[in-house]
């Protein structure tokens, strides 16, 4: 769908006249099998557009959303303010996302990108083929209730198969499901650290040390607990296993 829209816009730009001269941006050649081969200019335009949309695709169509939210909630639960920094959290989220999505990336490379680069498949069929693994991943982690909600909001009838679900209905459904799951995991992470804060605050109040901030005392205990249970490995394993179907 997106590729077809971009193709239409490119063809409109190709026919735009400036000073009574047509800009030769796009040329097409009919093939013997009935298909059309486009000049290199339109391919470069589409590739640059995909690269521009790559950050949004990374956030909205992969495991990145769930991972970065859980890590941000974990940092808030520890009470370490800006440690680890935003750059470290984003870097860890990115590499965990690549680790989780690597099987899907391999399928896209073998079935879509490699045949296209070798000239065995045209661009639009390769793009449609690449959507299959991504859509399958999003469907596996999208709640049926969220999918039904956005289908109802869009005025669509009940879908009988996954192929009938448009991408612009699947995307918000997937993101909503990911937000719900991320906050559920974040809540379970927050509870033990909250208990430590409550115990420390109660002890300080019983000792009459009400002017001392409980966060200063509870922070070393929370860090010690997190280190003793090998927290980072445990969190990483939990996030990776949460995407297993």
10-residue stretch averages of pLDDT, the chain, 245 residues long? 44 40 50 57 68 76 90 88 86 91 86 78 78 86 88 81 82 91 91 86 78 77 86 89 79
Say whether 21 sits in a helix, a strand or coil: strand
- Alpha helix stretches (DSSP H) within 109-166: 114-117, 123-140, 144-153
Residue 159 CB coordination number (10 Å): 14
Structure confidence at residue 177 (pLDDT): 92
d(CA 241, CA 135): 20
The two beta strands, 17-18 and 36-38, are: unpaired
Structural contact between residues 25 and 41, judged by C-beta atoms closer than 8 angstroms: yes
Q: Is the pTM of this model over 0.85?
A: no
Look up residue 135 and give its two tokens: 């859509």
- Within 13 Å, how many C-alpha atoms sit on residue 200's CB side? 17
């Amino acid at each position: 769908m997106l590729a077809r829209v971009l193709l239409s816009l490119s063809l409109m730009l190709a026919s735009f006249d400036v000073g009574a001269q047509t800009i030769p941006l796009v040329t097409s050649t009919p093939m013997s099998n009935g298909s059309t081969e486009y000049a290199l200019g339109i391919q470069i335009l589409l590739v640059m557009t995909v690269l521009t949309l790559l950050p949004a695709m990374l956030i909205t169509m992969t495991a990145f959303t769930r991972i970065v939210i859980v890590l941000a909630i974990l940092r808030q639960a520890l009470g370490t303010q800006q440690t680890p920094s935003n750059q470290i959290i984003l870097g860890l989220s990115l590499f965990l996302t690549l680790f989780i999505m690597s099987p899907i990336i391999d399928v896209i490379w073998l079935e879509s990108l490699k045949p296209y680069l070798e000239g065995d498949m045209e661009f639009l069929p390769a793009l449609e083929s690449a959507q299959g693994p991504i859509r399958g991943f999003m469907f596996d982690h999208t709640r049926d209730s969220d999918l039904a909600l956005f289908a109802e909001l869009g005025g669509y009838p009940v879908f009988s198969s996954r192929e009938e679900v448009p991408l612009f209905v699947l995307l918000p459904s997937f993101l909503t499901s990911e937000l719900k799951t991320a906050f559920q995991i974040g809540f379970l992470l927050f509870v033990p650290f909250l208990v430590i804060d409550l115990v420390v605050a109660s002890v300080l109040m019983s000792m009459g040390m009400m002017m001392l901030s409980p966060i200063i005392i509870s922070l070393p205990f929370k860090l010690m607990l997190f280190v003793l249970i090998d927290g980072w490995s445990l969190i990483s394993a939990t996030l990776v296993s949460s995407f297993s179907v």
